[in-house]
Amino acid sequence: MGGGVEAEVKCTLFANKPNYSGSKLTATGGIRKCTPRPPAACAFEVELQFYEQNGPGPGTWVTHATSDRSRACPPPSRSEKAGASCRPAPKKYSYRTLTYGAIVDGGGTDTGSATSGVLAVKCY
């Protein structure tokens, strides 16, 4: 992770590309691979986001669903899911997973985020 005060432990956040099954979208992400040991404390949350295009110019990523906040630290890996139902749509919409978190160790805090690839489906 990057930013904040440097912690003694390094962890990797992950965000899996959303899954679409039936009329349900699910985003999975979390925290894994902490070295050289698990941190004293950590927290992370997962968001399912969709791309909203309002008129000309660039659009914005908007939160569609949010997971519970996890305070469980690895090993080996911890994950949460954010899910939402959707209805069929005439055009494709773009969805992604965003995981953001923080670790605390040795008097320092380190924050970061991970973003998945985009899933385009005819679902809104």
Q: Does residue 72 sit within a domain?
A: yes
Any idea what the CATH number is for the domain that residue 31 is in?
Answer: 2.60.40.10
Amino acid at 44: F
Q: Is the dihedral of CA 105, 110, 111, 116 positive or negative?
A: negative
- Residue recorded with tokens 């005819």: 122
Q: Does residue 4 sit within a domain?
A: no
Burial bucket for residue 123 (CB in 10 Å: 0-12, 13-18, 19+): buried
- pLDDT above 60 for 23: yes
What HEC string does 30-47 produce?
EEEEEECCCCCEEEEEEE
Q: Does residue 20 sit within a domain?
A: yes
CA torsion 103→104→110→115, rounded to 10°? Answer: 10
Mean pLDDT, the chain, as a whole number? 90
The residue segments making up the domain with residue 52 are: 10-123
Burial bucket for residue 1 (CB in 10 Å: 0-12, 13-18, 19+): buried
Q: Are 94 and 50 in contact (CB under 8 A)?
A: yes
- pLDDT band (50, 70, 90) for residue 76: confident
Query: What pTM did the predictor assign?
Result: 0.89
Q: Does residue 3 sit within a domain?
A: no
Q: Does residue 5 sit within a domain?
A: no
Q: Does residue 100 sit within a domain?
A: yes
32-53: pLDDT as tens digits: 888 888 898 999 999 999 999 8
Q: Does residue 56 sit within a domain?
A: yes
The 8-class DSSP code of residue 55 comes to S
Domain count, the chain: 1
Residues 63, 27: Cα–Cα separation, whole Å: 11
Q: Does residue 106 sit within a domain?
A: yes
